[in-house]
């Protein structure tokens, strides 16, 4: 089969869009109907790092700070996280999980595995390593 080597950005974008669609389906399957992929990413990040400032969170999820404020505010409205002022810096607000989201931890582990696993279907360990290497190499160009 013929392999095009131009239009690489479009291929990356298409893959992202397909994967994100899959994330949305998985969220719906878990009954988390009103969450978008980015909300899920915030929760997954917080399972790992417990408490993060909005700034650090925005860096982790690769979104602008205004977007992060809005995403977090929605998660607060839905009861998944809470925002508390930091004691040593009055500007900083720390975001952390609630009981509600902690109870979904296993769901998100499963979701993450499903989503990454699907992209990787049929990949050898070497394929995975190689794809990750090339993506990191490309990411370093920005």
Partner DNA sequence: TCTTTTTGGTTCGGTAACGAACTAAAAGAA
Partner DNA sequence: TTCTTTTAGTTCGTTACCGAACCAAAAAGA
What is the contact surface with a second copy in residues (CB under 8 A)?
3-23, 41, 62, 112, 115-116, 118-123, 127-142
11 binds, among a second copy, DNA, none (CB under 5 to 8 A by kind): a second copy
Residues in contact with 23: Cβ distance below 8 Å, sequence separation at least 6, in sequence order: 37, 40, 111, 115
- Distance between CA atoms of 74 and 83, rounded to whole angstroms? 12
Rounded distance between C-alpha atoms, residue 15 and residue 11, angstroms: 6
Which of 64, 124, 136, 141 touches DNA by CB under 7 A? 64
Gap between the Cα atoms of 20 and 81, Å rounded: 22
Q: Is 74 in the site for DNA (CB under 7 A)?
A: yes
45 binds DNA (CB under 7 A): no
Cα 77–chain centre separation: 19
Residue 66 lies near DNA (rule: CB under 7 A): yes
Kindly determine how many residues on this chain lie close enough to bind DNA according to the rule CB under 7 A. 32
Residues that bind DNA (CB under 7 A): 17, 21, 34-39, 53-56, 58, 63-74, 83, 89-94
């Amino acid at each position: 089969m013929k392999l095009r080597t131009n239009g690489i950005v479009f291929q990356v974008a298409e893959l992202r869009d397909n994967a994100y669609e899959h994330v949305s389906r998985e969220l719906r399957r878990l009954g988390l109907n009103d969450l978008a992929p980015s909300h899920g990413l915030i929760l997954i990040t917080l399972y790992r790092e417990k408490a993060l400032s909005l700034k650090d969170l925005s860096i982790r999820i690769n979104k602008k700070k205004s977007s992060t404020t809005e995403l977090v505010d929605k998660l607060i409205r839905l009861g998944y996280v809470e925002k508390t002022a930091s004691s040593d810096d009055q500007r900083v607000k720390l975001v952390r999980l609630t009981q509600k989201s902690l109870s979904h931890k296993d769901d998100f582990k499963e979701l993450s595995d499903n989503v990454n696993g699907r992209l990787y279907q049929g990949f050898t360990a070497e394929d995975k390593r190689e794809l990750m290497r090339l993506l990191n190499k490309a990411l370093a160009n920005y």
